[in-house]
Amino acid sequence: MPALNYGQDNRQMGSRAMDDITQSQSDKMTGSAQADSVLAFLSKTSLHDIPEDVREHGRYLLLDLLGVAAAGSGTQTAQIISDFAVSTMAAGPHSPSAPILFDGRAVSPAGAALAGGMMIDSIDAHDGHKLVKGHVGCALLPSVLAALAAKRRIADDEELLTALIIGYELGVRCGMSLHASVSDYHTSGAWMAVAIAGVVGRIYGLPQYQIWQAMGIAEYHGPRSQMMRVIDHASMLKDGSGWGAMAGVSAVELAKAGFTGAPAITISDEALSDIWSDLGSCWRTTEQYIKLWPVCRWAQPAMQAVFEILSRTTVAPDQIEQIEIATFHESLRLASPHPKTGDEAQYSICWPVAAAVYAVYEGRSFGAWDVSEAALARADIHGLSARISLTEDQAFNAVFPAKRQSRVTITLTSGECLQATTLDTKGDPETPVSYEEMTRKFQAFLAESPHQGKSVALQMACLSLAQNSGQSPVIAEIIYSTT
């Protein structure tokens, strides 16, 4: 029996064999008409196929995300994860690289996506979608930017906007599909990994066969992360978006090299056809909700009720005997009356409600400061937070997640009771914030960030994106600049 040769010749043969396999299958479809339709939308959609109102909304979503990213760039989470990406995820020799968002240091595309996703997630003020109980843009944007940088297409405004909108369309449906097909409640990173693999595969110019492999790899390797665990035990883990972004980008690099992993059953399963059948005709990009305050969406109906009460009546915090919040179960799990970190404060309901009372009393807007270390050192806010009680309301449970509702009753030391109920939260598609309000939010977040000097140029770059004016600044020159 001849000796087996595991040397260079066999490795080259294996590589050629994989090339032959990939080539022989490259023209084959997935075996699922549903998946084939998704891949066709993903690969063939151009900016001109997207309605103008959807494009315009995409520009404002980009503006909103970059405002949150700028604020997040100053957090401890962002510093830790960016340093981690630099030290452990550097691009190899002759390999593509991408800068870290609002940092500028070059790492591998997967490392840039990881760092950017966690940076945005570190300030819980980014967009979301009610039916996926999570967030598309947080993981999507840094992945798209990393892929464009890796392919040296960072100034391609048309592809940036097109890829973002395609990513929102896929991401919402991936989230709906995962929630519909498993009993556990996974974070956004779990399902966004699949959407990101598709969008990044498009940017890389992979054939549909390899994009399909990448989406299957990403579905398999995406984080298992359980949402309610981090609700009960708030930490820097947040919504899993950074890890999902990394998994999605890595899946594309693997598929490009010949690694296989299809199918992605959240796309190919015919039992989920009602979720995918309107792709390209129903534009879910415009269904994203916008957060005005940097805390979990589930706490915001109660905050809105507080603001409504205090708009009708002037109340000093020391006049409040107690505050009762009736809310849905998931919101109730946010309890954490005395957070010790900003991450805990963002995943609390008692803290932001108490801080909101003080923000109104002190004549300022509730913002990133209210979940900062400086705010958490305030004994008076902690004192009011301790006077908040929570009850679960079955009527509010019945309409979740399509609606997030809460009722707040403030009892004064005089015995007077003040009450308000939030049935539709500001920023939802049914009660949208205006583009002017989104712009003001962006400006406020930039003003509180280390990048306030970039506000005017970045706003102009986002809102003129892919409009062929020839005068707009290149976004990359702003977000990757260290000055």
52 & 198 share domain: yes
Tell me the two tokens of residue 266.
């959240």
Same domain for 230 and 355, yes or no, is: no
CATH code of the domain containing 221: 1.10.4100.10
Buried b (16+ CB within 10 A) or exposed e, 172-205: bbbbbbbbeeeeebbbbbbbbbbbbbbbbbbbbe
List the structure tokens of 446. 């930039």
- Assigned domain for 202 exists: yes
**pLDDT for residue 201 is more than 80:** yes
Query: Using CB atoms within 10 A of its CB, is residue 380 exposed (0-12), middle (13-18) or buried (19+)?
Result: exposed
Percent of the chain with pLDDT over 90: 87
The residue whose two tokens read 């996506």 is 113
Please tell me the distance from the alpha carbon of residue 465 to that of residue 474, in angstroms, as a whole number. 9
Are residue 335 and residue 273 in the same domain, yes or no? no
Please state the rounded mean pLDDT for residues 54-75: 98
Q: Is the pLDDT of residue 121 over 70?
A: yes
Instruction: Count up the domains in the chain and report the number.
Output: 2
Mean pLDDT value across residues 361-390? 97
Are residue 91 and residue 222 in the same domain, yes or no? Answer: yes
Domain boundary among 370, 393, 422: 422
Same domain? For 314 and 352 the reply is yes
Do 224 and 322 belong to one domain? no
Taking phi over 0 as left and psi of -120 to 50 as alpha, with beta for the rest, 104 belongs to left
Looking at 388, 422, 456, the residue that finishes a domain is: 422
Q: Percent of the chain beyond pLDDT 70? A: 93
| Domain presence at residue 104 | yes
Assigned domain for 455 exists = no
Query: What is the pLDDT averaged over residues 58-63?
Result: 99
Number of residues that this document lists for the chain: 483
- pLDDT in the model for residue 28: 54
Do 273 and 305 reside in the same domain of the chain?
no
> Is the four-CA dihedral 132, 37, 167, 197 of positive or negative sign?
positive
Is residue 117 domain-resident?
yes
pLDDT digits (tens, 9 = 90+) for 143-171: 999 999 999 998 899 999 999 999 999 99
Cα(364)–Cα(376) distance, integer angstroms: 17
* 84 and 160 together in one domain: yes
DSSP category for residue 409: E
Distance between CA atoms of residues 362 and 152, nearest Å: 48
pTM of the model: 0.92
Q: Is residue 12 part of a domain?
A: no
Has residue 292 been placed in a domain? no
Q: What is the pLDDT of residue 13?
A: 33
Q: Burial, 415: exposed, middle or buried (Cβ in 10 Å; 0-12, 13-18, 19+)?
A: exposed
pLDDT at 474: 85
* Last residue of one domain, picked from the residues 220, 254, 287: 287
Reduce the DSSP state of residue 322 to 3 states and report it.
strand
When mean pLDDT is compared across 13-17, 187-191, 234-238, 269-273, the lowest value belongs to 13-17
Is 428 part of a structural domain of the chain? Answer: no
Q: Do 120 and 26 belong to one domain?
A: yes
Q: What is the pLDDT of residue 472?
A: 60
Which own/partner contact pairs does 87-91 have at CB distance under 8 Å and 24+ positions apart? 89/114
Give the pLDDT confidence score for residue 295 in this predicted structure: 97
Task: Please state, in angstroms and rounded to a whole number, the distance separating the CA atoms of residues 126 and 146.
Answer: 19
Q: Domain check: are 271 and 326 in the same one?
A: no
* 436 located within any domain: no
189 and 62 both lie in a single domain: yes
Which structural domain, as residue segments, surrounds residue 328? Answer: 297-422
Same-domain status, 252 and 321: no
Provide the CATH number for the domain around residue 326.
Answer: 3.30.1330.120
